[in-house]
Amino acid sequence: MTTPDFNLLITLDVLLSEGSVAAAARRLQLSPSAMSRALARLRETMGDPLLVRAGRNLVPTPRALEIREQVSRLAREMDSVLRPVGVLDPALLVRSFSLRTSDGFVENFGPALLARIGAEAPGVRLNFVARMHRDRDKDWDSTPLRDGTIDLETGVIGDATAPELRVQALFRDRFIAAVRPGHALSQGEITPARYAAEAHVLVSSRGRARGAIDEALQVLGLERKVVTSVGGFATALALARASDLVASVPERHTGNLRTGLFCFPLPVTTPQITVSLIWHPRLDADPAHRWLRSCVREVCMAALGPVGDPLRS
């Protein structure tokens, strides 16, 4: 089956609108002979004269009159589809987005993000989706982003992200320790030995028994006294608040969660982490998704300072 030439649809719409080969040619910036050839192709394709001469003018056939409104509508729809995307007006946007992130991110940045979205785009609903724990030996699961189950994600990705994904740094962070007021570590100099000797809650969302803190202590011949482990920083801080446990957490990521706790820099040096935005390239140019990404970035910037540079574009 031969594929129709859809350019003829635009030509037919203009011919039926103008009722003149010469006028249609001027409108489409073609020569009269080229427009005559196009009309001949339309007649052959559709099996109807479409426009016939009546004196000095052309008049539409019954078939042309029958399809004129349909042709005009289809031409407008084609123009709308092929026209470059205009400027997004968030106030008119009606859409639902899913953001997969940690509880700590939601508690720290969620209120400001929801307030920003509610003020700019009251028709938008933002759903926070909990991140599932993953095997430390497996790459970041890009399937939910690829199939549209998730629109956007935040996290510390390291080198495990699928290369197809888009990644942009939100902020860089460092680990600090948090204890309840009156804890032994809230008084005096905090040495690596004192820090390691206290009871610790380990945060491990990937099943790891050790991390960068343990490796830094090992260099000094020390080992943390880990008595329990949890899957998130919010839970670790809740335990530290109600016990003598030490919770080691990212400083900027947990700002609101640490209110009322005694916090101090780690007595060992550990690498900084980067919290990033992750999305699938199919949404890269989508105006509504770009607006959402800018909201997340600007909320983080307002709370923490400048966002990081793009890691991958």
CATH code, domain with 65:
1.10.10.10
Residue 238 resides in a domain: yes
Residue whose C-alpha is closest to residue 152's, from 12, 261, 295, 269: 295
Q: How far apart are CA 12 and CA 31, in angstroms?
A: 16
Domain boundary among 64, 82, 100: 82
**Residue 230 shares a structural domain with residue 288:** no
Query: Do residue 286 and residue 238 come from a single domain?
Result: no
Same domain, 162 and 282: yes
| Nearest Cα to Cα of residue 192 among 156, 157, 160, 224 | 224
pLDDT for the residue 182: 95
Distances from the Cα of 215 to the Cαs of 6, 119, 174, 198, in angstroms?
Answer: 65, 46, 15, 17
What is the distance of C-alpha 130 from the center of its chain? 15
Q: Which residues of the chain have pLDDT under 70?
A: 1-4, 80, 83-86, 132-141, 158-162, 205-209, 305-313
pLDDT at 136: 42
282 plus 135 within the same structural domain: yes
pLDDT value at position 218? 95
Is 1 a domain residue?
no
Q: Are residues 248 and 304 in the same domain?
A: no
What's the pLDDT score for residue 100? Answer: 93
Domain span at residue 301 reads: 92-169+278-312
How many whole angstroms separate alpha carbon 119 and alpha carbon 122? 6
CA 263-114-205 angle, 5° bins: 50
In a domain, 102, yes or no: yes
List, in order, residues 6 or more apart from 99 with CB less than 8 Å away: 126, 127, 128, 129, 150, 151, 152, 153, 154, 296
